[in-house]
Structures are given as C-alpha cells and as structure tokens.
Amino acid sequence: MTPDTTSLTRRGFLLAGAALGAGVLAACTSGVQSNQTTSTPSTATPTPGPSGSGSAGPAAQGEMYGVGIYNTQQVADELVWIDQNIHRAEGKTKHVLITGSTGGLGQLAAAYLMKRGHTVVAHARNAQRAADVRRDLPGLESVVTGDLLDLDQTRALAKQINALGTFDVIIHNAGEYGLPDSQLLRSNSLSPYLLTALVTPPGQLSYLSSDLHMGGRLQLDEVRSGGGISYGDSKLHMAMIATAAARLWPNRHVNAVAPGWVPTRMGFHDGNSTTPDSLREGYMTQVWLAEGVEQGSDVTGEFLFHRRVETRVNDLVHDTSAQDRLLAAYAEQTGVTLS
C-alpha cells in the first residue's frame, strides 16, 4: 500500500476512533496475526525475524515484553528478533534519549540502538513503567520518569535529562491517543515543546508525527488558553516543532517522522487486528537518523516517511510564519521561549 492510500485509510479509521481502554487492549493483542513485511533495513543483519514470518518467537510468548498489557504480540516478536539478529556497529557510539520508550516504537528503537552499541536512556511515565522497561531492556544507561500529561512533571523531567549530560540524539516519540482533547494538548504538543526548549539541544532530534497531521489545524487560541486539540492537530504541532527547531538551529539535524500505521498498542487502539504498514519500518527511520551514517540520513527540516522525504505534507509544516505564531502561542502558555 502506498503512503498516500495508507494515509487515507488510516485517517478514516482513526477519525472513527474510540477510547483506548483495557478491554479494547485485550481484544487488540490476542490472537492477531502479524502483517509485518520482511523488508530488512540495510543496517540490520538480513535475517527474517518472527515478525517477518508471521510466527511468534518462543521468548515472546506469555507476558514477556508486556504482551496484552502495554505491547502487542507483534512488538514483542520484533523485540525478540532485534535481540537475536542485531549486532554491535562499527564507529562512534551515540548517547540517545527516547521519550515514551516503555512500549511500542520507542521501545523498539531503544532496543535496536542498544544492540548496535549505543548508550540509551529510556523515559517512562512513572516508577512502575520505569521498572517494566528496566526489566525488558537490561543495559539501559538510565530511565528518566515523568508523565507528559502533567506539565510540572515535564519540567522536572527536563531537569532529570539535563542532569545526565549532553545527548547526541533525542527522539520525541511519546504520544497519547484517545484521550480528551485538553489532555492531548498537554501530552502531545505542550510537553514536547517544553522538552525541546528546556533540554540542552542534541545534534540530532526526531519528532514522531503521523499522516493524520494532514487534517491538523494550528489551533493557536487553544494552545494559548490550554484548551483542547485533536490528535491530528497535535501531530501537526509535532511536525511544526521539528521544522521550527531546524530553522532556529541550523547546525543541528531536526526532522519529523511519520511511522506509518503499525501494529503497536496505539495502532490497534480500537480493536482492529490488522494494520497496513511495516512495524520494522515504523522505527527504522528514527534509528537511521540517530546513527546518521547512511546516505541521506543527514537531512534536516524535513518530514520523513520510511527513510524518505515525504512531499505530501500539510502546508503549515514548512510555513515559517505559522511556525513563529505557534512558537509564540507556546511561549505565552508555558512562559518558556524556544530560541
């Protein structure tokens, strides 16, 4: 399926949306078949994994990696595949922070980069989820905690991150779906902005957006007043934080990434048991950018889909005047300026 047809299907599907709840989650993660493609990233050992073959790896059975709780069977299978097939890379190792790395795409990127020899700091919403990710990913340098729904916790999180020194790479991956709109403003828009402005900037940043940003609106009044925004609005904001930061920081590499519609807990949010896109490709763009060694991975100020610049983006993404107005609204709401 092409990105274009995928995005149309995804938008229709997600706009139909339902709240993400425990019962839904159980339905999402039981007895589903992987639709993972076998496309193998050039940085990976070319061995088809359990996700590629559609069969569950033995170590991913049961509750390992939080199957049915915070991960799908597909994510657990992919974590096993990474563990068994990815090996240490030659060259410079990077200091990497990934927000929302207790499950899904963030956890997969963290696992992959660790196996490649990079030093990875995970981020969890609370102490329980921090304990979960320490168990799932032994070898993490550290785990920082903070619920992005609470802006005070986000500010404290920025201090924890800065206390760990300068990072080479930060992947702003965390995201909520299916919550009331005022909560989405905090978790998916204000918090990534605050972390961008308060954390010492690394050389390379990625922001997880979505094809649903295409229907997003600027919503400046909502940002200023702390009102409600849709998921699509929040994913437009993520992309615009990326392009604005790329413009403000010409010596850094900053991009937005759409991962495709993939079988994580979020991807199965309404009980759907199939998704159209490759789970592996859903995290490999972030890995490719983080390592920054392959041709084209030194890009900045772009919106990427599966390691390619996506030309079909909301016009606001590259509108510098709109970026400035959004940054001004963020500064008014948070009292923190991005410069």
Ligand X SMILES: NC(=O)c1ccc[n+]([C@@H]2O[C@H](COP(=O)([O-])OP(=O)(O)OC[C@H]3O[C@@H](n4cnc5c(N)ncnc54)[C@H](OP(=O)(O)O)[C@@H]3O)[C@@H](O)[C@H]2O)c1
Which of 6, 7, 34, 187 forms a contact with ligand X (CB under 6 A)? 187
Contact 283, 109 (CB under 8 A): yes
In order of 62, 103, 142, 192, 230, the CA distances from 98 in angstroms are 26, 11, 11, 12, 24
Rounded to a whole number of angstroms, the minimum distance from the CB of residue 92 to ligand X is 26
Which of 104, 201, 202, 216 forms a contact with ligand X (CB under 6 A)? 104
If binding is defined by CB under 6 A, does position 125 make contact with ligand X? yes
Spatial CA neighbour of 101 closest among 287, 291, 278, 298: 287
If binding is defined by CB under 6 A, does position 304 make contact with ligand X? no
Rounded to a whole number of angstroms, the minimum distance from the CB of residue 225 to ligand X is 20
Which of 121, 170, 208, 218 forms a contact with ligand X (CB under 6 A)? 208
If binding is defined by CB under 6 A, does position 237 make contact with ligand X? no
In this structure, is the dihedral angle defined by the CA atoms of residues 159, 157, 105 and 187, taken in order, positive or negative?
negative
User: Which string of x and - marks every residue 19-48 that binds ligand X (by CB under 6 A)?
Assistant: ------------------------------
- Which three-class secondary structure state does DSSP give residue 238? helix
Rounded to a whole number of angstroms, the minimum distance from the CB of residue 130 to ligand X is 10
| Pick 46 or 205: Cβ nearer ligand X | 205
| Pick 104 or 301: Cβ nearer ligand X | 104
User: Which string of x and - marks every residue 129-158 that binds ligand X (by CB under 6 A)?
Assistant: x-----------------xxx---------
Cα separation, 84 vs 66, whole angstroms:
19
Which of 77, 78, 176, 291 forms a contact with ligand X (CB under 6 A)? 176
Around Cβ 238, how many Cβ atoms within 10 Å?
27
Question: Quick one: which H or E segment has residue 151?
Answer: helix 151-163
Rounded to a whole number of angstroms, the minimum distance from the CB of residue 90 to ligand X is 29
Spatial CA neighbour of 309 closest among 271, 275, 258: 258
If binding is defined by CB under 6 A, does position 7 make contact with ligand X? no
Which of 50, 100, 202, 276 forms a contact with ligand X (CB under 6 A)? 100
Contact 259, 10 (CB under 8 A): no
Which of 259, 286, 301, 327 forms a contact with ligand X (CB under 6 A)? 259
Q: Which residues are tagged catalytic?
A: 231, 235
Report strand pairing: 95-98 vs 119-124: parallel
Report strand pairing: 303-305 vs 308-309: antiparallel
5 exposed, middle or buried (CB, 10 Å; 0-12, 13-18, 19+)?
exposed
Which of 25, 109, 242, 262 forms a contact with ligand X (CB under 6 A)? 262
State the amino acid at position 173 in one-letter form: N
In the complex, which residue's CB is closest to ligand X?
A: 104
Give start and end residues of each alpha helix (H) in 16-64.
22-29, 50-53
Rounded to a whole number of angstroms, the minimum distance from the CB of residue 235 to ligand X is 6
Which of 41, 175, 201, 301 forms a contact with ligand X (CB under 6 A)? 175
Report strand pairing: 169-172 vs 303-305: unpaired
Q: How many residues bind ligand X (CB under 6 A)?
A: 27
Candidate ranges 26-34, 46-54, 94-102, 290-298; the one touching ligand X (CB under 6 A): 94-102
Q: Which residues contribute to the site for ligand X (CB under 6 A)?
A: 70, 100-106, 125, 129, 147-149, 173-176, 187, 208, 210, 259, 261-262, 264-267
